[in-house]
């Protein structure tokens, strides 16, 4: 019996995200590599418009597709 792999052999770009979801403020950390220091952003809690607007430049910088959704 042969083994079939479904993973791509090409390197993929990754955007690492960390969320600290408080009652009043959300703290976000973005990094394109674990070796790099994260970029930090603080937004009002539950403000999804700012969450999307703040993450859009990070997606572009990491080379991810513009259509990528959370």
Q: Average pLDDT of 55-65?
A: 63
Residue 46: pLDDT above 70? yes
pTM of the model: 0.61
Given the structure tokens 């607007």, which residue do they identify?
53
Which residues, including other chains, have CB under 8 Å from residue 52's CB and lie 6 or more apart? 70
Q: Average pLDDT of 1-29?
A: 81
Residue 2: the pLDDT is: 73
Q: What are phi and psi of 67, to 5 degrees?
A: -85, 0
Residue 69: pLDDT above 60? no
Residue 23: the pLDDT is: 96
Q: Average pLDDT of 18-42?
A: 91
Q: Which helix (H) or strand (E) holds 54?
A: helix 48-62
Q: How does DSSP classify residue 68?
A: -
């Amino acid at each position: 019996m042969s083994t079939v792999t479904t993973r791509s052999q090409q390197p993929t770009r990754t955007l690492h995200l960390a969320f600290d979801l408080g009652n009043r403020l959300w703290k976000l950390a973005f990094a394109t590599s674990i070796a790099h220091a994260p970029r930090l952003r603080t937004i009002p809690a539950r403000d999804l418009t700012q969450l999307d607007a703040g993450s859009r430049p990070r997606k572009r910088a990491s080379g991810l597709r513009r259509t990528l959704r959370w």
